[in-house]
Amino acid sequence: MNEVEVLFEPEGIRVRVPAGTLLSKAAVLAGIAIDMPCGGKGGCGKCRVQIIGHAPDASAEDLKSFGAKDIEQGMRLACQTPVHMPMTVVVPHNSRLTETSQILGSAGGIHDVSEAQDPPIWKRYVRLNAPTLEDDRADIERLLDAIGPCEVRLEMARLLPGKLRKQGFRGTAVLSERYLLDFEEDNTEPECYGVAFDLGTTTLVGVLLDLATGREIASASRMNPQTQYGDDVLSRIQRARDESGGLEELHGIMRDALNAMIAELSEKASIRTERIYEATFAGNTTMQHFLACIPPNALGEIPFAPAFRRSLLFPASKIGMEIHPRGCVVVFPVIGGFVGGDTVAGILVTGIAEAAKPTLFVDIGTNGELVVKHGDILLSASTAAGPAFEGANIKHGMRAMSGAIEQIVLDGDVHYKVIGGAKPVGLCGSALIDITAELLRKGILSYHGLLLSGDELPADLPPRLLDRVIMGEDGPEFVVALESESGTGAPVTVTHRDFRSLQLGTGAIRTGIAILLKQAGLTPAELDRVYVAGAFGNYIRPHNAQRMGLLPFNVELPRVSFVGNTSLAGARRVATSRTARQRAEELAFLAKHVELSRDPNFQMEYMEAMFFPMEEPV
Amino acid sequence: MNEVEVLFEPEGIRVRVPAGTLLSKAAVLAGIAIDMPCGGKGGCGKCRVQIIGHAPDASAEDLKSFGAKDIEQGMRLACQTPVHMPMTVVVPHNSRLTETSQILGSAGGIHDVSEAQDPPIWKRYVRLNAPTLEDDRADIERLLDAIGPCEVRLEMARLLPGKLRKQGFRGTAVLSERYLLDFEEDNTEPECYGVAFDLGTTTLVGVLLDLATGREIASASRMNPQTQYGDDVLSRIQRARDESGGLEELHGIMRDALNAMIAELSEKASIRTERIYEATFAGNTTMQHFLACIPPNALGEIPFAPAFRRSLLFPASKIGMEIHPRGCVVVFPVIGGFVGGDTVAGILVTGIAEAAKPTLFVDIGTNGELVVKHGDILLSASTAAGPAFEGANIKHGMRAMSGAIEQIVLDGDVHYKVIGGAKPVGLCGSALIDITAELLRKGILSYHGLLLSGDELPADLPPRLLDRVIMGEDGPEFVVALESESGTGAPVTVTHRDFRSLQLGTGAIRTGIAILLKQAGLTPAELDRVYVAGAFGNYIRPHNAQRMGLLPFNVELPRVSFVGNTSLAGARRVATSRTARQRAEELAFLAKHVELSRDPNFQMEYMEAMFFPMEEPV
């Protein structure tokens, strides 16, 4: 068989593959994980690589994904490019699958590769004339004559005279819409970075962005350290309100975690944190208050009034954010006390506000946020889903990262898929949905949410499944991964308590969807599109989500899109586009906030939703 | 003779005066010093008093000075109101002559009582509805819906939720053009204050202003403590540049002096410093750099480029200015390295930029600033006059305050007038001008600037004058106030060194005027108006200023106006009017900066000006 050699850069790894092998396959053999959320169909445009030297002809998908200049420079989609002759391929960082790109994951439905059109921070290298008696303009005036009008704040005014003279009146002006951030030595135009964060109640996710191109350079995620003071926002609000120094403490531990993530992102990308000029945050209303260290007390009491609705823009130094010393922080606008910037971000990236046909947006996090668009109506609401779908408060739950089981199928036995191909160590959100739906189908889990055992189990249960129903310390458990398969040395199980958490979370979201659709005058069948956001991992199966009641029945499955972490995607977009920031501001005022518990149907809907659906969706 | 009684309030002092006596005269008898810079001609509108009960008919001057409502409420000019029946008269603080109002002094020529039309800070008392489930607007949104759009910065966003709830959703919003400063408990609308300062190289002068009315409530002045590091700006610039921590030290001691003055102003007016929301500063370019703690290094070297030209606006906390914690600082725009905000202020208050006919503005301070308007030409320049006219570096020099001799006439003997009617302790600028001119006339001082003695003195010198020429430690001196008259127990003299200082200062200004007029294509005779500003005291006699060469010959004396401290007057105007602030910004760019020393005539003019004029002006 005719073999050809492929050299992957920058690693310098060589592999030999049969002629005609796709580059994406060759990369797998080289141990290089290329991101292909569409599964290698050429549809998502994520698996961009650059072929150095002679490149094969561009495919139709290549021509859709790239401009002429890119094509000419050898840019191709790895999943569409067969290898027929030896080649050198550069895999950009942005095309790689990282641990957290699964949490960030956008499995189609939205366009994720945002090209910055109008970044809020930009740079300009200038050479000025030194002052002379003929030209004795003031230092600031001299610089602004070259770069255009902008505010120069006191801190910068103090630094500028020294910088100009030290740098021989040459350097790179760092500009924002509002003011001059710096005048850096030499030409630093290519180094203009921002960070964007999703501030979740349970999870913090952040990305490092090249502001000039909008491209993601690195990503990071970690547990929100505030969880040590409670899984839900209310217990944290109470602590901030009732404990002396409580607000500062809750603010401080989150700030420290974010700073650690910024340091991690900078290290991953080998950049200096002083080259990060902007940090953009989308999160629920309470998290945004904690970030800015604004007392969230009123969010803990009826009528849950937030302190602010419009976006906040302030110097990063005011909250000790360790980016450029004169960098700025952008905090998303909010819709209401429990419908925050994360929802605004979701509306922004899904384009639901512009949808011509009835559309539903569901963001499943510790708080579930819901948005319905119907004609002129744009309604939003939130519901306390708990952290189960993020893998928290679940015995073997974990975030969607390497080692997490992300897919489960039951037939005569258990089949699962692990992120990163590693040994399983836990279950992420998508696996929890799968296992709930599958155990309901198999009759191992009752629609009341009870994990059955012994005589309660169906008589015809395959023996391999039967063996997996065991008695744990605290009641029955179902073994997903056996001790022998597990990466931890102990079986990976789901417990009856886990199902209780999932049931409560599912019920809350289901109630919210039902009420919001009613208020908009819609039935599920009338929905043209359903966008489901959340940090599940990339491979949720919609029919399983329907089976457990998370999504309404009567919605055709092709109309459902899983759009990943839209809070982060929105933060990214706002971080790189002034237009997007303006639009987010408008959207926060367009969306009407519905207080679900005030709906007369709330009690009844909620009671009904406390059980899983009895049957498969029709 | 028919006598009537006048009761002066708030002192409660009663005096009996002959019927027909002017109120201004009655006030003198009561020991109440009313400010009458126009000398009681009804022209300046400063001597406003309020007559309680039945008031005499308003005079023509009253009708010019007051609106119908004021007239109806008994407002009258004290200098125009004869007393024919018993009356009670309230003398407002603003109409009184205070020590420092002599330094501030505006001796006609400009309209000094600025009524605030569009203050940059204002207040609004509001009552809001508390949030309900039907009305769950965000706190900031709720307030802005009531007071109109404005920026709410992070510090305020952190305080607002607590304040709203503590105050039962009622309070007084403190607003600036740019952002919300506070939300105060109760209705504090009447308490809205600002301070305005003239930052002189030698002297700091400040006033407390009611921002709603523009009225001055109190004033204070003191030596600029930076003088301990040198009388001139250059030695201070060098210190800031060469000593470690030098800039911070020079900034700090001035800041501390200003804070002490703010405390003094607040105490005088019995107000809290937290009710002062704005501090406005006009001064020379270097002082303004020191105030903002911006390195002035480049101002110490050719081509003397300043760091900033536009006005600065920043939070007062950034320079530790002890006013409201979220108050703001306004620093005047500058024209060039040595033509600063004080000159912009002078252009603003004299209206010279709008003058239709040729006009000259001379501001005599440690730096003399000059402006010429001719047609479309607006030229400005500065010249190092030294602090002599402010009484510094003069053996018995002092500022124009109680105890300062302010007028001197020589005939067969010496006659002088002392501010406050006290015993003399020194000489202020106007007295120095008088004594120089008079000694030149008497032949006691030669046009070379030498104080003659012994045989050099004219043979026909009156014996009483002859006796006053004495030999001091350091050369000849002239005794203005004898030991027996003096408040210090020692004679008040002028020395030959003093005349050297005055000669150098005069020469610098004279040179500047000559060159600037030439560049504008003007002769002195063509000048329609000459405005002379400076902290001399109120009673400069123009012919004496001409005699010593400070003002050009060939200017008709009625065309000369002494306009007092225009730097302070401009700061006051900008402190109370957004329009004035905008206009100051424009003026700084309209005025062209002339570097005097680059004029080909400079050397010759300077040599000539090194001597006093040989003769009286014609």
Q: Which of A34-38, A570-574, B454-458, B529-533 has the lowest mean pLDDT?
A: A34-38
CA distance A580 to B536: 60
B432 falls in which pLDDT band (50, 70, 90)?
very high
Q: Which of A109-123, A145-159, B536-550 has the lowest mean pLDDT?
A: A109-123
pLDDT at B367 over 70: yes
Distance from the Cα of residue B164 to its chain's centroid = 41
The pLDDT of residue B537: 60
Instruction: Indicate the pTM of the whole model.
Output: 0.79
Residues 6+ apart with CB under 8 A from B523: B517, B554
Within 10 angstroms of residue A395's Cβ, the number of other Cβ atoms is 16
Report the 3 state secondary structure along B31-67. Answer: CCCECCCCCCCCCCCCCEEEEECCCCCCCHHHHHHCC
Determine, for residues A157 and B598 on separate chains, whether the beta-carbon distance falls below 8 Å.
no
The pLDDT of residue B107: 35
B385: nearest Cα among B238, B501, B542, B256: B501
Q: Token pair for residue B85?
A: 């029946």
Between A290 and A117, the more confident residue is: A290
Q: Closest partner residue to B158 among A142, A295, A306, by Cβ? A: A295
Q: Token pair for residue A148?
A: 């255009």
The pLDDT of residue A100: 39
Report the 3 state secondary structure along A351-420. Answer: CHHHCCCCEEEEEECCEEEEEEEECCEEEEEEEECCHHHHCCCCCCECCCCCCEEEEEEECCCEEEEEHH
Our CA-based measurement puts residue B153 at a distance from the nearest CA of chain A, in whole angstroms, of 7
How much is the average pLDDT of B135-154? 94
Given a contact cutoff of 8 angstroms between Cβ atoms, the answer to whether A433 and A445 are in contact is no
Q: Which of A14-18, A432-436, B411-415 has the lowest mean pLDDT?
A: A14-18
In chain A, % of residues over pLDDT 90: 65
Chain B residues inside the 8 Å CB shell of A157: 292, 294, 307-308, 312
How much is the average pLDDT of B49-71? 87
Cα→Cα distances B342→A83, A264, B282, B316, B380, Å: 76, 52, 5, 20, 12
pLDDT at B191 over 90: yes
Given a contact cutoff of 8 angstroms between Cβ atoms, the answer to whether B453 and B476 are in contact is yes
A68 falls in which pLDDT band (50, 70, 90)?
confident
pLDDT, tens digit, 9 for 90 and up, residues B273-284? 999 999 999 999
pLDDT, tens digit, 9 for 90 and up, residues B508-521? 999 999 999 999 99
The pLDDT of residue A37: 62
Chain A residues inside the 8 Å CB shell of B179: none
A107 falls in which pLDDT band (50, 70, 90)?
very low
Determine, for residues A303 and B593 on separate chains, whether the beta-carbon distance falls below 8 Å.
no
Determine, for residues A137 and B309 on separate chains, whether the beta-carbon distance falls below 8 Å.
yes
The pLDDT of residue B110: 41
How much is the average pLDDT of A407-424? 92
How much is the average pLDDT of B523-548? 87
Determine, for residues A308 and B140 on separate chains, whether the beta-carbon distance falls below 8 Å.
yes
CA distance B18 to B320: 55
Average pLDDT along chain B: 90
Determine, for residues B136 and A303 on separate chains, whether the beta-carbon distance falls below 8 Å.
yes
pLDDT at A110 over 60: no
Distance from the Cα of residue A372 to its chain's centroid = 21
The pLDDT of residue A1: 59
Q: Closest partner residue to A161 among B131, B295, B595, by Cβ? A: B295
The pLDDT of residue B104: 42
Phi, psi of A95 (to 5 degrees): -90, 0
Q: Closest partner residue to B309 among A141, A161, A302, by Cβ? A: A141
Residues 6+ apart with CB under 8 A from B67: none
The pLDDT of residue B113: 41
A21 falls in which pLDDT band (50, 70, 90)?
confident
A231 falls in which pLDDT band (50, 70, 90)?
confident
Continuous segment of H or E residues that includes residue A447: none
Q: For residue B27, give the 3-state DSSP assignment.
A: helix
How much is the average pLDDT of A127-146? 94
| A-B C-beta contacts closer than 8 Å | 126
B552 class by beta-carbon count within 10 Å (0-12 exposed, 13-18 middle, 19+ buried)? buried
The pLDDT of residue A104: 41
The pLDDT of residue B103: 39
Q: Token pair for residue A446?
A: 């009752």
Q: Closest partner residue to A136 among B141, B303, B314, by Cβ? A: B303
How much is the average pLDDT of A24-40? 73
pLDDT, tens digit, 9 for 90 and up, residues A546-601? 999 999 998 988 888 888 899 999 999 999 999 999 999 999 999 999 989 889 98
pLDDT at A499 over 80: yes
The pLDDT of residue A27: 82
A12 falls in which pLDDT band (50, 70, 90)?
confident
Determine, for residues A297 and B161 on separate chains, whether the beta-carbon distance falls below 8 Å.
yes
Q: Token pair for residue A279?
A: 């940090």
CA distance A142 to A144: 6
Our CA-based measurement puts residue B348 at a distance from the nearest CA of chain A, in whole angstroms, of 21
Chain B residues inside the 8 Å CB shell of A302: 133
How much is the average pLDDT of B240-253? 96
Chain A residues inside the 8 Å CB shell of B157: 292, 294, 307-308, 312
The pLDDT of residue A616: 85
Determine, for residues A138 and B305 on separate chains, whether the beta-carbon distance falls below 8 Å.
yes
B1 falls in which pLDDT band (50, 70, 90)?
low
pLDDT, tens digit, 9 for 90 and up, residues A307-359? 999 999 999 999 999 999 999 999 999 999 989 999 999 999 999 999 999 99
Chain B residues inside the 8 Å CB shell of A140: 307-310
Determine, for residues A304 and B593 on separate chains, whether the beta-carbon distance falls below 8 Å.
no
pLDDT at A213 over 90: no
Chain A residues inside the 8 Å CB shell of B165: 298
Chain B residues inside the 8 Å CB shell of A308: 138-141, 152, 157
A503: nearest Cα among A543, A448, A453: A448
Residues 6+ apart with CB under 8 A from B570: B282, B332, B341, B342, B344, B345, B346, B348, B349, B580, B584
Q: Closest partner residue to B161 among A139, A307, A312, by Cβ? A: A307
How much is the average pLDDT of A247-267? 96
pLDDT at B549 over 80: yes
The pLDDT of residue A31: 66
pLDDT, tens digit, 9 for 90 and up, residues B82-118? 998 888 888 876 677 654 333 344 333 343 444 446 8
How much is the average pLDDT of B225-248? 92
The pLDDT of residue B143: 96
Determine, for residues B131 and A305 on separate chains, whether the beta-carbon distance falls below 8 Å.
yes
Determine, for residues B309 and A337 on separate chains, whether the beta-carbon distance falls below 8 Å.
no
CA distance A185 to A173: 9
Q: Closest partner residue to A154 among B137, B292, B595, by Cβ? A: B292
